Amino acid sequence: MGLPTFLLCLSVVGIRQCLGGYSDYDYGGIPVMINRLLGEPSVLSLRGRLDASWYRAVNTETCPLECDCPVHWPSAAYCDHRGLKAVPPALPPRTQYLFLQGNLISSLPAGVFANATLARWLLLDRNQLASDQVNSTALAQLPHLENLFLNYNHLTDVPSPLPGGLLQLRLAHNRISKITPGAFRNLRNLTLLLLQGNQLQTIGEAAFKAGLQSVILLDLSHNQLKEFPEGLPPSIQQLYISNNSLSVLQERSLIGFGNLQYLRISHNRLQDKGIASNVFNMSSIIELDLSYNQLTSVPVVSETLQYLYLQANLIQEVNMTSFCRTVGPVDYSHLRVLRLDGNPLSYHQLPSDWVLCLRVLSNIFI
Ligand SMILES: *[C@@H]1O[C@H](CO)[C@@H](O)[C@H](O)[C@H]1NC(C)=O
Ligand SMILES: *[C@@H]1O[C@H](CO)[C@@H](O)[C@H](O)[C@H]1NC(C)=O
Ligand SMILES: *[C@@H]1O[C@H](CO)[C@@H](O)[C@H](O)[C@H]1NC(C)=O
Ligand SMILES: *[C@@H]1O[C@H](CO)[C@@H](O)[C@H](O)[C@H]1NC(C)=O
Ligand SMILES: *[C@@H]1O[C@H](CO)[C@@H](O)[C@H](O)[C@H]1NC(C)=O
Ligand SMILES: *[C@@H]1O[C@H](CO)[C@@H](O)[C@H](O)[C@H]1NC(C)=O
């Protein structure tokens, strides 16, 4: 089964590299679609793709009445999008992929997955799960669980404890307003953590401290954060905090993140005075998105940066020292794309020698 490889590629190399150009995958029988808006894959149902009654007729294996169990993929149970108010009883013990998204499930009592202990994928997106209706033992008792999808529910807390072997945890678009210290404590293998579209105002230093030593992608976009979170895992390669209320980035905010490659802080309240002078001068960063802020000048960035998005700020002039400290045969900016559109700036205001510094630039928007 090739699926784990696919996902590995997703989380290790980064969504852009792996999926650029494609929007629809049929991988090992699982239709996976990349939702470009959310930048994440969603596993679709088989609705309209399979004749459920035919599969039920030819499949001799047990299958709950509420679900479809494709004969050629015995480890999957499709119970999605059918108005279920509860997890179906008597799930087949062979189930490794459990599709329950798009139902009306509001609770997970203890033992609800007692017959599906082999489950590795559990998709519960778009249900009505509330935190006080989720008994933590229900999830903790799935020792093989690697991929847990809980997007678009009514959760107010991170469920805890969770199975220690999780690789991805998707909690986007819930109502989570706080992260209890140690909530992720045992998730040492987690590489992808989605928390965008919640109601987080602050993230305490202890929230991410324990566990989470393998996280590659962390999405905190669309929350209400006023301060840059502390104690983030140093393993992070992709950090998304767009659409929050950040106004300050301190010198220490990004110290220690030697793996950080993609940093997106668009749609915040950043002003020049709130940004420490050297905070973005990190040689690991490939893409920096500072669009839709209130910057009046271009911050100092590393010469190795390749993509810089500064559109819709208040930038009136550009000083090449932001990109190049010195210019010479081997000293130049590696920027390929520079967006400065939507600023009170025009092309002729660029210093005449800008091409010497930005010599590999392929796209500039002013
Ligand atoms: C598990 O399976 C047994 C035997 O089929 C059944 O009696 C029991 O109700 C099932 N439990 C759940 C939670 O589905
Ligand atoms: C979870 O279920 C167990 C076993 O049924 C029960 O003892 C415990 O009180 C439940 N916890 C919550 C928070 O409901
Ligand atoms: C984490 O991953 C390692 C290496 O793949 C594995 O040996 C270990 O069992 C995993 N940890 C848990 C708690 O599953
Ligand atoms: C941020 O908000 C803007 C305006 O509402 C929206 O267009 C954009 O898609 C959002 N971006 C993210 C990453 O949430
Ligand atoms: C940016 O970082 C590089 C490498 O660490 C360093 O040599 C350079 O002086 C820094 N630039 C500025 C403007 O401080
Ligand atoms: C660009 O910035 C450098 C260093 O801050 C300064 O010395 C220089 O005068 C500036 N150039 C322009 C044209 O403003």
pLDDT of residue 48: 58
Residues of the chain with pLDDT under 70: 1-60, 72
pLDDT of residue 58: 64
pLDDT of residue 52: 63
pLDDT of residue 57: 65
- Could you state, in order of their start, the residue ranges of all structural domains in the chain? 248-365
Burial class (CB in 10 A: 0-12, 13-18, 19+), 300: middle
pLDDT of residue 307: 97
Q: Tokens 């976009």 — which residue?
A: 221
* Cα distance between residue 268 and residue 242, in whole Å: 7
Distance 86 CA to ligand 2 centre (A): 17
Query: H or E segment at 108?
Result: none
Distance 318 CA to ligand 6 centre (A): 9
Report which bound ligand comes closest to the CA of 241.
Answer: 4
Task: Label residue 335 left, alpha or beta by phi (over 0 means left) and psi (-120 to 50 means alpha).
Answer: beta
Give the side-chain half-sphere CA count within 13 A for 300: 13
Pocket lining: 110 vs ligand 1, CB cutoff 6 Å: no
Q: Between the CA atoms of 171, 174, 179 and 185, what dihedral angle is there, to the nearest 10 degrees?
A: -20
**Which atom of ligand 5 is least distant from the CA of 302?**
1
Pocket lining: 173 vs ligand 4, CB cutoff 6 Å: no
Report which bound ligand comes closest to the CA of 354.
Answer: 6
pLDDT of residue 169: 95
Report which bound ligand comes closest to the CA of 251.
Answer: 5
DSSP string for residues in 149-169: E--SSB-SS---S--TT-SEE
pLDDT of residue 343: 96
pLDDT of residue 174: 98
Of all protein residues, whose CA lies closest to atom 4 belonging to ligand 2?
Answer: 110
pLDDT of residue 73: 73
Q: Quick check: helix, strand or coil at residue 223?
A: coil
* Cα distance between residue 332 and residue 325, in whole Å: 8
pLDDT of residue 321: 92
Q: Quick check: 364 and 336 in contact, CB under 8 A?
A: no
Distance 259 CA to ligand 6 centre (A): 31
State the Cα angle at 48 between 19 and 174, rounded to 5°.
60
Of all protein residues, whose CA lies closest to atom 6 belonging to ligand 5?
Answer: 281
pLDDT of residue 17: 34
pTM of the model: 0.86
Task: Label residue 230 left, alpha or beta by phi (over 0 means left) and psi (-120 to 50 means alpha).
Answer: beta
Pocket lining: 221 vs ligand 4, CB cutoff 6 Å: yes
pLDDT of residue 51: 65
Q: Which CATH class is domain 248-365?
A: alpha beta
